Structure 1
Amino acid sequence: MKAKAEAEKHLALGLEYLRNKKTGAARHHLLMALFYRPGDRKALESLEKALFPPEAITYHVKKGDTNLSIAKKLYHDPQKTFLVAYFAGSRHNGPPVPGEILYLPLIEGPPPVKKPRPLTSIQKARSLFARKKYREAISLAENIVAYGPSKSAREIINGSYYALALQKLKENRLVEARKLFEMVNRDYGKTADYIRNLTNQLRVRADYHYKKGVRYFLDEKLARAISEWETTLRLNPEHARARADLKKARAMLKNLNGLQ
């Protein structure tokens, strides 16, 4: 009789603490209730709530599940693999075991990104490419590649960037053309040759503007010198002398403006 009374007393206290969201105290009294009356269904159910509140996700491990696959399924984020590994491994220091139940924290985050169906999307991407809507074709093809490897999508991406680069080349916009060619696989078309030739042309132009900047600097026309050296670096970001001289010229101009 004493055990029954103690069990009921601790159960009542445990339920009261649980209602007041004092889970630590609730766990203590519910465990005491089970000590005096093992198998008490009410105490067991309440203890489960105290141990795993609504903010937890209950997951039944299936055959073939891995920490990574569970993270993708529940959190839609492979970077949460460590979280699953921690809770799955807390019992046996290993991967999840089929049949076991995992209690994982509920984490708020952005909704999963709906990825396009590869078959219909690749057809649409090809249509966009054929209509010379290269930017749209690239966007759709990149989504397909994010879904999974696709040789056809990669071909559309290469072809679209290649076509855009050729357009910029015709407009004599060499910097933009080179950037676009650099988005293409080197073995696609004449990409490697275009990049090499454009790099050489841009270096020649960069040197021209650098020397022009030096002349302005010697004529004490700092603003014009700065402008020429900025152009130099836009054409050839690796031009060390232009970078150093530009820094000095800007400092000098700032000091001169401060004296006025």
Structure 2
Amino acid sequence: MKKVADLKSQIQRSADEHYNKGLSYYQKHLIRKARKEFLLTLYYHPDHKEALDYVKNKLHGEEFLSYEVKEGDTLKDIAQKNYNDPQKDFLIAYFNDLGKDRQLVPKMILKIPILEFTRPRSPMDQKELPMDEKGEIVDTRETLNRAKVAYRARDYPQAASLSQKILEYVPEDKEARELLNESCYQLGKSLGLKKKYEEALTLLNQVELGYKDVRKIIITMKKQLAEVHYVDGVKYFTEEELEKAIQEWDKTLLLDPNHPKARGDIENARNLLKKLKDFK
């Protein structure tokens, strides 16, 4: 019994210590640091009313993701998916004003608070974490949270970069794959509208082919890029730079094998080159 009491006392001290740090940061207007300390308070003491009040009502900013409830979801399931920790279900319940007995309905949209701290880990936890080339632990959950924040801010390059980093260590991470798909998809479409087709295709080729309409977009952009090369070939042809024209039309056919003119123009240019050589 004494060991249990000692443990409870230690947990309470840790919660109080982080709460007081949070208050100090908040009074100094260091909001991100305050948020981290209040969230650590809640890790040790989930029912800490003052810390919950600060996190929910006094720390402003876009610190949420949206989650659409799926058939069979529970709060613990959703906490596991988003935080890799089912015990953080109380945070989701609190931020969405859900009572303990509230049933989740499919397609319900929940606010998921973004956590910017890493929960304390036991030595057993650390053994399961991936290591980088220096032998240091890579916290993929923290990196995923940063990727989500970047995505919410429409910083798609950063979101894609962070998601790719996670997948290097945990290739089966579905959330990271989804973020990479969506970030590259959005970036690729944006670059396509700016007619930067090569850059767009490089990004879109990182997206899984079954994702949204990416297959159709890739086909369309390949044809658009093929036409760019075809027009460049025509310019070279009119300037009598036949070899460069052929190179451009070859690129056209690689991208669009059924291009209506490129194949015939290549044949015509090669015949002209042969005649010029014979003439010399």
Q: TM-score range by the shorter chain?
A: 0.3 to 0.5
TM-score by length of 1: 0.43
Which structure has more helix as a fraction of its residues?
Answer: 1
TM-score by length of 2: 0.40
